Amino acid sequence: MSLFSIDRKKCKRDGRCAKVCPAQIIVLPDPEAFPTIPENREEFCINCGHCAAVCPHGALTLKTMPIAECPDIRYELLPEADQIRQLLMARRSIRFYKDRIVAHGLLEDLIDTARHAPTASNQQQVQWVVFENPAEVNRLASMVIDWTRSMLPLIPDELMAKKMENKIAAWDDGKDQILRGAPHLIVVHSQTDLSFAETNCVIALTYLELYAYAKGLGTCWAGYLTTAAGFHEPLKQALGLPQGHKCFGAVMLGYPQYKYKRIPVRNAAAVTWRS
Ligand SMILES: Cc1cc2nc3c(=O)[nH]c(=O)nc-3n(C[C@H](O)[C@H](O)[C@H](O)COP(=O)(O)O)c2cc1C
C-alpha cells in the first residue's frame, strides 16, 4: 500500500516532493511519470510531511496526514527578523509571579505549539506533565528541598554547598528559591533509550518558553528540580513518569510580576570562523 496518493489532475510532476524528501524515497522514474514510493523503500519514511507540505499544487496526500489537517502557512502572520531578534533578546527568566492562574486553554496552546519543535528523525516522542495546581507545585519544591537537605553533607564543592544551604534557609524562612512560588510547572520527559531524547525535550521546552513569553507569560527553567528528579524517589513518584522515562527539563510558569526595561549584556560569542 502506497504511503501517499497523487491527484493526477493537480500534479505537475515538478519533482519537488522527491527532492525535499529527507529519506530520498520518492521517485519519478521519468519526466512523464507521477511520483511514487517503491514498496521496499516505504519503511524509510519518517512521516515528516515535507512532500505534502512543499507541493504548491496540493497534489499529494500522505495516508497519515490528510491535507485538510495541514493548514496553509499564513506568511502574512510571520514576524520580521528584527521582531524575532527582539523577542529572543528580551525574554528573561522570571522568578516573581503574580498570584494568578494561567487558563487551561492557554496551557494547552503552549503545548500544542511546542509539539511543532523539531525532533531527531521526526521521532515526536517528547511528552509533558503539566502541574496546574499551585499547591502541588509548592509540594514539588518542598521535595527538592528535602533532597537538598539530605545531599548537603555530600556536596564536595564548598561554594555550591553554601548556595544550597542558602536555599534551604530561604525555604525555612518561607521563601521558595526552588520553584519561585510559580503557580505552574511544566515538565518535559521522554524515553531515555531514544537517540537525542534529551535534545528533543530541551528544544521543545525552549519553543514553549519563547511562545509563552510572546503570550505575556513568564517562565524560568527549573534546574534544581530537574536534577533532583533524577535521584529523589518521592519526587520521581510525584512526577509519575512512565517506566524508562526521564525528566529532561522543566519550567516554572505564570504571569510575571515585573516587566523588564533593558536587555542585559551577555558575553561575546565564542566563535571560531573557518574559511
Ligand atoms: C538548564 C537551565 C537550568 C536553570 N535552572 C534554574 C533554576 O533552577 N532556578 C533559577 O532561578 N533559574 C534557573 N535557570 C535560569 C538561569 O539562571 C538564567 O537563564 C540565566 O541567569 C540567564 O538569565 P535569562 O534567562 O533571564 O537570560 C536555569 C536556566 C537553564 C538554561
Give the model confidence (pLDDT) of 219-234 as tens digits: 999 999 999 999 999 9
Please name every residue paired with 247 in a beta bridge, in sequence order, or none if there are none. 189
State yes or no: pLDDT of 1 exceeds 80.
no
**Which pLDDT score is estimated for 31?**
82
Rg (CA), the chain: 23
Strands in 245-254's sheet, in edge-to-edge order, are 127-131, 184-191, 245-254, 218-221
State yes or no: pLDDT of 245 exceeds 90.
yes
Smallest CA separation from ligand 1 atom 20, residue: 93
- Please state the pTM of the whole predicted model: 0.96
Tell me the CATH number for domain 4-69.
3.30.70.20
- The CATH superfamily label for domain 84-254 reads NADH Oxidase (3.40.109.10)
Contact present, 163 and 104 (Cβ < 8 Å): no
Smallest CA separation from ligand 1 atom 3, residue: 223
Which part of the chain has CATH 3.30.70.20? 4-69
Confidence band, pLDDT 50/70/90 cuts, at residue 67: confident
**Ligand 1 pocket test, candidate residues 186, 201, 220, most atoms within 8 A of CB:** 220
Report the mean per-residue pLDDT for the chain: 96
Q: List, chain by chain if needed, residues with CB within 6 Å of any ligand 1 atom.
A: 92-93, 95, 220-224
Write the DSSP assignment of 139-184 as a string of letters.
HHHHHHHHHHHHHGGG---HHHHHHHHHHHHHHHTT--SSSTT-SE
**Which pLDDT score is estimated for 11?**
96
Say how many Å lie between the CA of residue 91 and the centre of ligand 1.
Answer: 12
